[in-house]
């Protein structure tokens, strides 16, 4: 996650830097694996992406 396409694959709202209408809302956007189950983090990412899509 990040605003710089050189250092991240998706923006902070989970939108792909390369493909304009692609949002990634799974654990693949996390830079490392978590020590705990990432289900709540993934749910939060999905909610955040949903809000961004709604605003568009």
Q: By C-alpha distance, which of 31, 27, 1 is closest to 14?
A: 1
Please tell me the predicted confidence (pLDDT) of residue 17. Answer: 95
Looking at the chain, the whole-number percentage of residues with pLDDT higher than 90 is 70
User: What residues contact residue 13 under an 8 Å CB cut-off, 6+ apart?
Assistant: 23, 48, 49, 51, 52
Report the chain's mean pLDDT, rounded to a whole number.
91
Distance, C-alpha 31 to centroid of its chain:
11
Number of domains in the chain: 1
- pTM, rounded to two decimals: 0.77
pLDDT tens digit sequence for 4-56: 999 999 999 999 999 989 999 999 888 888 789 999 999 999 999 999 999 98
**Domain range spanning residue 23?**
1-56
User: What residues contact residue 24 under an 8 Å CB cut-off, 6+ apart?
Assistant: 9, 10, 14, 16, 49
């Amino acid at each position: 996650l990040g605003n710089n396409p050189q250092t991240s694959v998706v923006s902070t709202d989970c939108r792909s830097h390369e493909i304009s209408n692609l949002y990634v809302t799974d654990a693949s956007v996390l830079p490392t694996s978590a020590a705990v189950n990432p289900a709540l983090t993934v749910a939060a990412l999905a909610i955040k992406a949903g809000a961004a899509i709604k605003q568009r």
